[in-house]
Structure 1
């Protein structure tokens, strides 16, 4: 066994002369993260099968609309705080974790208030299904995202094995619980309640475990909370742009087309999620590297990622008809849309630029990226869905992804050296 480990170690180190990447770190951390992503993907796949075969299209479309709108309602809970906690954890400033949790929960109360107002709006307009759903959701919004902050904390400490185990258990248990509810009832309210209750409770449990096991100091990063607020402010339009496509489909085309659209993008998004592990692994590495070093190795890495993406996309395009016919026979009309949307994954070749912007705290570049790209995406999606319906929306999303990736690459290469400070920016709201 030791001999095999030594051979694997030597092989990984040997390959670094060609990949120009720390392959040992990638194998150690990436292996666990990939395992977690596989578990998450399988859990999601089983859940999607249950929805595809047990729930009416209209109910599923309404459910996806509710989850998408909820993601927008969660904006006040400061999603950018996750990155700030990750960076503080990297420097063993563990007290930042509880400080960030309290901040996220306090701001999350605004999310609850928005959900209650939305519930009242739908009640006054005679839509009891959405009114009751958002009333239920309002009770969970200060907590469901806040308790999940243990994940970025563990990633900052490079505890990829531990974080993978925790997140896998959350995914498996919550998915199993939700499938059981779907088997017993088709009631939308119970499905919504089951989703939010299971995720909130399980995240709370593993947050408590993380606090007891891995918080070893009470030191805080005084810059973490302001930086987390800056990142959250940057992400406002970006978050809206990420979910408004579902809202457009629901309002312009209806619940059933939204169900079809959800299935069309589901598997490409899962595959893209697997590649996002590279971002998770690269982020702590980029923090410790000079910007000029990252720029020097960018072209070769981008080419390799482009070729890898091409192979994966080609395989998916060939497999998609079989997958839908076997597992989602009621949604075969989504096959072409799904194959077309898979082309958007080619933009993963440029992900190092986006990661580097965050790791190097390029606040000016991040503000530009997180404002220009989502505005472009929202306008493009609105124009194209009114022009060509679902097909137009898919095309708009592909165009927007490449636009955002090229913009981030331009901003990163135009960024100043690490020893030159960015222009002062006003403090975010308290």
Structure 2
């Protein structure tokens, strides 16, 4: 059987443009592979060089900073990618300016939280939360240029840039960990490295954008709507860590962080791989879009089961080798992986509503699912601690799938 026949059979099986995925998916997977390896390196350093209590405090700081980031324009990059895919190139420049203005609100809120902890004598939490927020704001603002690259299908450049940024921050983190276990110094090193690297990578790209291309004000407005929809989503994604820290302590949060670490990385790889079809979906008509998504959901869900099963089998060996102090988290990590089976369907259905720019429907979906997840987390952690947080993560994904499916069928 020749190469052409294999490609055609694969396209019939997966109902996907294999040539497109093969060309662009290589760079997406290569980038995620690099990020995963570097993530392993950072995780190993944290697991073996930082005491569990300190690591729990570190994760709490990052969670508070991320929670404050709910006020950022978190949905702008997704809207920007679709705009650039339709040749509205200069939209990225206006999006960055808009994000800068919103960042002032985030930094103002971070300053108030920092003052609160400073007043109570906790310098580490005070300064740590502020500088971690500065880092997040820099990524969400300067990092918008990444949406331009993806919209232009420049996956190779996007992958190289993201890999350089990840490598730089990994080196800064590991180096600081090898020198000190002071959380504040670790955060400062990461913040400085992130900002400098982002500026060095983004400026050459932004300066070469064709200024004669039009701006999509509709996409900017859609980006604002997506950001508003994401507020509760951000809260739901961080409240588990904050609740665990407040109710169970820093050591419990450290254990939970390692329980979900590798499954979340696996999920990120899967989402990125599926995400390479988003720019192409932006140019599909309604009937073709629905037909394509329906056929992909089942096939990709079955395909997702393969890495999930492999991880469940290998998890004990991975923890024993890389995270020896957290081996009591193996079962919870395996359990958490089950929720990833809903990820392909959730990602594809989210793509459907985003491409259609169904603002009202997205509001309903995201608000309902976020409230549901928050309720699950509050009840789960209150009654069952870490186990409850893991179960809430699983049922939260299932709940999102049920809500997506309801509105998808409703919009026939």
Match of 2:45 among 41, 50, 60: 50
Aligned to 2:218: 223
Higher alpha-carbon deviation: 105-114 or 305-314? 305-314
Aligned to 2:348: 352
Higher alpha-carbon deviation: 104-113 or 293-302? 293-302
User: Per-residue deviation at 1:130?
Assistant: 0.5
1:368 aligns with 2:368: no
**Aligned partners of 2:134 and 2:191 also within 8 Å:** no
Segments of 5+ residues of structure 2 without an aligned counterpart are none
Cα distance 1:46–1:346, how it changes in 2: closer, same or farther (>3 A)?
A: same
Aligned to 1:39: 34
1:150 aligns with 2:145: yes
Cα distance 1:137–1:302, how it changes in 2: closer, same or farther (>3 A)?
A: closer
User: Per-residue deviation at 1:291?
Assistant: 2.6
Q: Distance in 1 between matches of 2:126 and 2:35?
A: 30
Q: Distance in 2 between matches of 1:297 and 1:288?
A: 13
Cα distance 1:45–1:21, how it changes in 2: closer, same or farther (>3 A)?
A: same
Aligned to 2:382: 386
Number of corresponding residues: 411
Aligned to 1:163: 158
Post-superposition Cα deviations, 1:299-352, rounded to whole Å, max 9, x if no partner, equal 432221222122211110110000000111011011011000000110024131
Higher alpha-carbon deviation: 355-364 or 44-53? 355-364
Q: Distance in 1 between matches of 2:285 and 2:168?
A: 41
**Aligned partners of 2:311 and 2:334 also within 8 Å:** yes
Match of 1:190 among 176, 185, 195: 185
SS in 2 for 1:53: helix
Segments of 5+ residues of structure 1 without an aligned counterpart are 1-5, 417-430
User: Residues 318-329 of structure 1: matches in 2 within 5 Å?
Assistant: 318-329=313-324
Cα distance 1:137–1:309, how it changes in 2: closer, same or farther (>3 A)?
A: closer
Aligned to 1:377: 373
Q: Distance in 1 between matches of 2:244 and 2:168?
A: 31
TM-score normalised by L of structure 1: 0.92
TM-score normalised by L of structure 2: 0.96
Q: Distance in 2 between matches of 1:366 and 1:48?
A: 34
Post-superposition Cα deviations, 1:243-268, rounded to whole Å, max 9, x if no partner, equal 11111111110111100000000000
Cα distance 1:264–1:281, how it changes in 2: closer, same or farther (>3 A)?
A: same
Match of 1:316 among 268, 288, 311: 311
Aligned to 2:200: 205
Aligned to 2:401: 405
Cα distance 1:60–1:238, how it changes in 2: closer, same or farther (>3 A)?
A: same
SS in 2 for 1:245: helix
Cα distance 1:330–1:142, how it changes in 2: closer, same or farther (>3 A)?
A: closer
Q: Distance in 2 between matches of 1:79 and 1:329?
A: 36
SS in 2 for 1:74: helix
Q: Distance in 2 between matches of 1:60 and 1:405?
A: 33
